[in-house]
A and B are shown apart, each in its own frame.
Chain A
Amino acid sequence: MIYLLTSNILQISPEGIIDRYPNSYNHFVLPFVIGISFILVYLFIGLVRILYHLTGEDRIKLLKSLFKPKTAWKNIKDIFCDCLLHTKIWKRKPLLGYMHSAIAFGWFLLIVVGHIEVWLFAPRHLSGLTEGSLYYPIFYRFFIWINPAHETLRGSVFFFIMDFLLLYVLSGIGLAMFKRVRSIALGMRHTTKPSLADRVALYSLWLIFPLRLLAEGFTADLSGGGFLTRPLNWVFRAFFGNELNFLPTWWAYSICLGLFFLAMPFSRYMHILTEPLLILMRNAGLKVRKPRKGFAEAEIYACSSCGLCLDACPMNVQKKNLKYSSVYFIRFLRRHNKRKTREIADKCLMCGKCYALCPVGVNSPAIRRALRETQNNNIKCDYSYLEDASSKSSATLAGKAGGKILYFAGCMSHLTPVIIKSVETILKASGQDYEFMDRNEGICCGRPLMLAGRTEAAQKTIQANSRIIRESGCTTLLVSCPICLKIFKEEYSLNGIEVIHYTQLVDRLIKEGKLKVSKSSSAIVYHDPCELGRGCGIYEEPRNVLSSVAELKKASKERDESICCGYSMGTLTLDEKDKAKIAESSVTSLMAENPDEIVTACPMCYRAIRSKAEVPVKDFAEIVCENIEK
């Protein structure tokens, strides 16, 4: 009947492709058109808002980066790998990676190949909005009739590809459904609780592709189809006998698409559209300045709420503390819930594991710090004494360390005297000329203030210390505390003075033959301190050295997955009992292979682990000292 009604306006294209509808329009496309228009407008406004809240300097930086060939290439590569292929998830959890890439990359290809198909066979419909270019490629199979006698090889290839891609996406959707029921099968112990918008978007996303299969199955005898849709069509015809029921299916398909796009901005699925922007901004070198605006907003909306950070967060040893994980932090930020975000921001250990393991790379520790800054930067204290202390130290040290190593122990090493003693022994044994910057008194490196969001106060200690270091004339600044190391590397400008952690120095001394060590029979395990590993990327040097002084065993979680010792400077409000629980879980991970001793390279970790471990705990320098060849 439809053919009769429309036969007078059938248009014949070169390959026997005929538009079945006048103006290629049917009311069922409306839900989709409304949805897609809404999301496009929303995206545009969101983009403008984010760009508006960037500082002028950042905006120029972003713009310039787009035209630098190196960054541009990195942008393309990152967008392809992170947004479509999800290589980061693949590396850690292959099945989960397959699920994500099947949905993202599969859907992306469906859209691209679909458009190519239209461009090849019905190019007129891509030429403008009046020709339906907004929806036509999506519902292409509905609008055409292909004369079976005119089917070409080229057309059949497309039928095959499109069906194959649909199958690919459907396999991902199937896994996603399975994951909702049993997340552990895909390698996730904890998953997030979806909000209402998440549910709407999620269920419509689940339905989109099965409905597409149904809809294209119903029309396969008219539009043609591949190995999935055509057999489906035979089955349907055998059961239903006519084609009258296919319009409701196309309606359902369009409604699901529309619903998905309408729910998207209020759901986790906004990450699909925000992540590319985040990649561009990150590659341009932008930093979080405000906790909810500008770059941070891109980070917040790029969070896919996948919950991988729940398994990463050291707080997860206690179920009650799971609420402090990044995923909930970001969710409350999105909802502008000030009370909860503040509580979570202050509670966090700032160990950075969520950031290291985040498939999107949302830097939530930076956002937390920015949020702390809005509250704590205004606390006024009198730091005038710093200038005196700085001048005094400068006067005694000036020029003395010319060409030598300057050792800065820092507050925490002073509270753990075994570290200082061992570092000095190593320096003497290897014939290094050095000066001790803070033997009797010193100024804090500023990192704890920085972590607490007290940026201005931190800058004051940074200035005071910088002066002493620069005037000492040293060429190398040696630190024994990773907390100091991080801020010396990131915030100090020291005119080319090398900042080095003692694990790096010892590694170098051994390689240069200046320090000789012997190997003991003791089996040890190394705990990666957060600030040293994830913070400064130092994983290899301590392991090189330790494997030459003892037998190095593995922890169940190590390197960038290492579990924080719980006593991080980063937390402002976590209480002792919760810290102790985290310390216990860190020790449990370290004891996986029953080592005789635990070794770490951070005074905080040393103290924390010692309070919980049943085997001896040693500092890196201490165990090196024990094995120096005399």
Chain B
Amino acid sequence: MKNNILVIGGGPAGLEASAVLSRMGYNVILAEKEKRLGGHLAKWDRLFPDQTPAKEVLDGLLDGIKDVKCFTETDVNSINLLDRSFNAMLSNGITILADAVLLASGFDMFKAEKKEEYGYGIYDGVMTNADMEQVFREGKTFSPAPKAIGFVHCVGSRDEKAGNPACSKVCCATAVKQAIETKELYPEANVYCFYMDLRMFGRHYEDLYLRAQKAGIRFIRGRVSEVAETSEGRLLVKAEDTLSSRPVKVTLDRLVLMAGMRPSEAGHKVGRQLNLSVEEDGFFSSRDGFLSLQKSKLPGLFYAGACTGPKTLPDTFHEARSAAMEIDRYIKENFRK
């Protein structure tokens, strides 16, 4: 008999783990709350550091889940741990008895309107990194061609007042990538990046940064303090250049906010039913920080991806695969004796 494994969340982590588990011979059921599989990846245009189209990666992932039962637009209405197995009731009316559950609920984007001073939702020219990717993906252009565009790093990340003192890991590289792409689209435009410090920690990330500098993108070390609208409807951005210790004021046509990662609300809903513990940052806590990263405190419940904190895509895939191995080991030890 094949053991049932329930994967909650159909983003990169859930898809990759489902693919591996299904190759191992398990009966994998995947629940995704949205209409489309792929999570945030499905909404992205190109990926850093080498601008691989997101669609390529997503197609690769979808190829692997041919034998997985996928339920989209499906919430987990209730879930509880019975004697050894989990009993989950899905919003489509199906009840599943699963021997193991993988929680891959990922992250929600930080709501940029919470940083009132940047005027997201108030000024037309202010948008988020996700909005920008959508523009790229749909092949839209801004008209008239913008003369100046700014990218604000760390919006809702490393910001105690916004309730998130942690780094979201991916925004620096995303901002630099988007800045390069913008400059490619509008070579005449001045492109600015307002950063605190650039965290280009991954392989090839630094190359991306050098490319951006060569392309003429201006990096200003300092946070944007406020954004106002000029009488012509452009954006007056005030910031401090902390390298020259002077206040700077620039007038821009577009301002792109690099919204960070926050724990997923849908993931919390599942977590509350199972009494899973979260850490101070709101993300789920693993059983330990080194050897049991994919395990939760509940036997049979595993984590993969950004539900335990911000991660890049490669990290997420590593986690998905190791979670699949942990699940395999757990099933073999507990159900096949």
Tell me whether A and B are bound partners.
Answer: yes
A residues sitting closer than 8 Å to B (CB atoms) are: 414-418, 420-421, 439-440, 576, 580, 606-607, 610-611
Q: How far apart are the CA atoms of A440 and B123 in the complex, in Å?
A: 16
- Of chain B, the residue at the smallest CB distance from A417 is B119
Q: How far apart are the CA atoms of A417 and B122 in the complex, in Å?
A: 7
Q: How far apart are the CA atoms of A265 and B269 in the complex, in Å?
A: 59
Q: Which residues of A contact B162 (CB under 8 A)?
A: 611
In the complex the two chains form, is B114's CB within 8 Å of A611's CB?
A: yes
Q: Which residues of B contact A420 (CB under 8 A)?
A: 228
Distance (whole angstroms) from the CB of B104 to the closest CB of chain A: 26
B residues sitting closer than 8 Å to A (CB atoms) are: 114, 116-117, 119, 122-123, 160-163, 225-229, 236
Given A421-B122, A439-B228, A440-B236, A415 and B117 contact (CB-CB distance below 8 Å) = yes
Q: How far apart are the CA atoms of A421 and B226 in the complex, in Å?
A: 14
Q: How far apart are the CA atoms of A607 and B227 in the complex, in Å?
A: 16
Q: How far apart are the CA atoms of A492 and B172 in the complex, in Å?
A: 46
Q: Which residues of A contact B228 (CB under 8 A)?
A: 414, 417, 420, 439-440
Sample (12) of A-B pairs whose CB atoms are under 8 Å apart: A414-B226, A415-B117, A417-B228, A418-B116, A418-B119, A418-B122, A420-B228, A439-B228, A576-B161, A610-B116, A611-B162, A611-B163
Given A417-B227, A439-B228, A580 and B116 contact (CB-CB distance below 8 Å) = no
In the complex the two chains form, is B229's CB within 8 Å of A417's CB?
A: yes
In the complex the two chains form, is B116's CB within 8 Å of A415's CB?
A: yes
In the complex the two chains form, is B163's CB within 8 Å of A417's CB?
A: no
Q: How far apart are the CA atoms of A580 and B164 in the complex, in Å?
A: 12
List the 10 shortest-distance A-B pairs measured between CB atoms, nearest first.
A415-B117, A417-B119, A416-B116, A576-B160, A414-B226, A417-B122, A418-B122, A415-B226, A607-B116, A415-B116
Q: How far apart are the CA atoms of A417 and B125 in the complex, in Å?
A: 14
- Of chain B, the residue at the smallest CB distance from A414 is B226
Q: Which residues of B contact A440 (CB under 8 A)?
A: 228, 236
Given A417-B116, A440-B236, A580 and B227 contact (CB-CB distance below 8 Å) = no
Q: How far apart are the CA atoms of A610 and B163 in the complex, in Å?
A: 12
- Of chain A, the residue at the smallest CB distance from B227 is A417
Q: Which residues of A contact B117 (CB under 8 A)?
A: 414-417
- Of chain B, the residue at the smallest CB distance from A415 is B117
Q: Which residues of B contact A611 (CB under 8 A)?
A: 114, 162-163
Q: How far apart are the CA atoms of A435 and B225 in the complex, in Å?
A: 24
Distance (whole angstroms) from the CB of A187 to the closest CB of chain B: 35
Distance (whole angstroms) from the CB of A143 to the closest CB of chain B: 72
Q: Which residues of A contact B116 (CB under 8 A)?
A: 415-418, 606-607, 610
Q: How far apart are the CA atoms of A607 and B114 in the complex, in Å?
A: 8
Q: How far apart are the CA atoms of A507 and B1 in the complex, in Å?
A: 74
Distance (whole angstroms) from the CB of B164 to the closest CB of chain A: 11
- Of chain A, the residue at the smallest CB distance from B225 is A415
Q: How far apart are the CA atoms of A421 and B126 in the complex, in Å?
A: 15
Q: Which residues of A contact B236 (CB under 8 A)?
A: 440
- Of chain A, the residue at the smallest CB distance from B161 is A576
Q: How far apart are the CA atoms of A610 and B119 in the complex, in Å?
A: 14
Distance (whole angstroms) from the CB of B163 to the closest CB of chain A: 7
Distance (whole angstroms) from the CB of B217 to the closest CB of chain A: 26
Q: How far apart are the CA atoms of A336 and B206 in the complex, in Å?
A: 58
Distance (whole angstroms) from the CB of B278 to the closest CB of chain A: 16
Q: How far apart are the CA atoms of A421 and B236 in the complex, in Å?
A: 14
Distance (whole angstroms) from the CB of A226 to the closest CB of chain B: 67
- Of chain B, the residue at the smallest CB distance from A608 is B161
Most buried by A among B116, B226, B227: B116
Q: Which residues of A contact B226 (CB under 8 A)?
A: 414-415, 417
- Of chain B, the residue at the smallest CB distance from A416 is B116
Q: Which residues of B contact A610 (CB under 8 A)?
A: 114, 116
Q: How far apart are the CA atoms of A234 and B116 in the complex, in Å?
A: 79
Q: Which residues of B contact A418 (CB under 8 A)?
A: 116, 119, 122
Q: Which residues of B contact A417 (CB under 8 A)?
A: 116-117, 119, 122-123, 226-229
Q: Which residues of A contact B161 (CB under 8 A)?
A: 576
Q: Which residues of B contact A415 (CB under 8 A)?
A: 116-117, 225-226
Q: Which residues of B contact A576 (CB under 8 A)?
A: 160-161
Q: Which residues of A contact B225 (CB under 8 A)?
A: 415
Q: Which residues of B contact A606 (CB under 8 A)?
A: 116
Q: How far apart are the CA atoms of A540 and B123 in the complex, in Å?
A: 32
Q: How far apart are the CA atoms of A439 and B161 in the complex, in Å?
A: 26
Q: How far apart are the CA atoms of A414 and B161 in the complex, in Å?
A: 17
Q: Which residues of B contact A414 (CB under 8 A)?
A: 117, 226, 228
- Of chain B, the residue at the smallest CB distance from A418 is B122
Q: How far apart are the CA atoms of A421 and B121 in the complex, in Å?
A: 12
Q: How far apart are the CA atoms of A484 and B210 in the complex, in Å?
A: 46
Q: How far apart are the CA atoms of A607 and B113 in the complex, in Å?
A: 11
Distance (whole angstroms) from the CB of A529 to the closest CB of chain B: 16
Q: How far apart are the CA atoms of A418 and B114 in the complex, in Å?
A: 12
Q: Which residues of B contact A580 (CB under 8 A)?
A: 163
Distance (whole angstroms) from the CB of A484 to the closest CB of chain B: 16
- Of chain B, the residue at the smallest CB distance from A439 is B228
Q: Which residues of A contact B114 (CB under 8 A)?
A: 610-611
Q: How far apart are the CA atoms of A440 and B226 in the complex, in Å?
A: 11
- Of chain B, the residue at the smallest CB distance from A607 is B116
Q: How far apart are the CA atoms of A439 and B226 in the complex, in Å?
A: 12
Distance (whole angstroms) from the CB of B59 to the closest CB of chain A: 39
Q: Which residues of A contact B119 (CB under 8 A)?
A: 417-418
- Of chain A, the residue at the smallest CB distance from B120 is A417
Distance (whole angstroms) from the CB of A480 to the closest CB of chain B: 13
Q: How far apart are the CA atoms of A377 and B289 in the complex, in Å?
A: 48
Q: How far apart are the CA atoms of A417 and B119 in the complex, in Å?
A: 6
- Of chain A, the residue at the smallest CB distance from B121 is A418
Distance (whole angstroms) from the CB of A92 to the closest CB of chain B: 35
- Of chain A, the residue at the smallest CB distance from B162 is A611
Q: How far apart are the CA atoms of A109 and B236 in the complex, in Å?
A: 70
- Given pairs A421-B229, A606-B116, A611-B162, 5 additional interface contacts (CB within 8 A): A415-B226, A417-B117, A417-B123, A440-B228, A611-B163
Q: How far apart are the CA atoms of A417 and B161 in the complex, in Å?
A: 18
Most buried by A among B225, B227, B228: B228
Distance (whole angstroms) from the CB of A583 to the closest CB of chain B: 10
Distance (whole angstroms) from the CB of A521 to the closest CB of chain B: 24
Distance (whole angstroms) from the CB of B239 to the closest CB of chain A: 13
- Of chain B, the residue at the smallest CB distance from A576 is B160
Distance (whole angstroms) from the CB of B307 to the closest CB of chain A: 22
- Of chain B, the residue at the smallest CB distance from A575 is B160
Distance (whole angstroms) from the CB of B251 to the closest CB of chain A: 11
Q: How far apart are the CA atoms of A576 and B122 in the complex, in Å?
A: 26
- Of chain B, the residue at the smallest CB distance from A612 is B163
Q: Which residues of B contact A607 (CB under 8 A)?
A: 116
Q: How far apart are the CA atoms of A421 and B124 in the complex, in Å?
A: 13
Q: Which residues of A contact B160 (CB under 8 A)?
A: 576
Q: Which residues of B contact A439 (CB under 8 A)?
A: 228
- Of chain B, the residue at the smallest CB distance from A440 is B236
Q: Which residues of A contact B122 (CB under 8 A)?
A: 417-418, 421
Distance (whole angstroms) from the CB of B252 to the closest CB of chain A: 15
Q: How far apart are the CA atoms of A552 and B34 in the complex, in Å?
A: 37
Q: How far apart are the CA atoms of A440 and B237 in the complex, in Å?
A: 10
Distance (whole angstroms) from the CB of A629 to the closest CB of chain B: 23
Q: Which residues of B contact A416 (CB under 8 A)?
A: 116-117
Q: How far apart are the CA atoms of A606 and B119 in the complex, in Å?
A: 14
Distance (whole angstroms) from the CB of B121 to the closest CB of chain A: 8
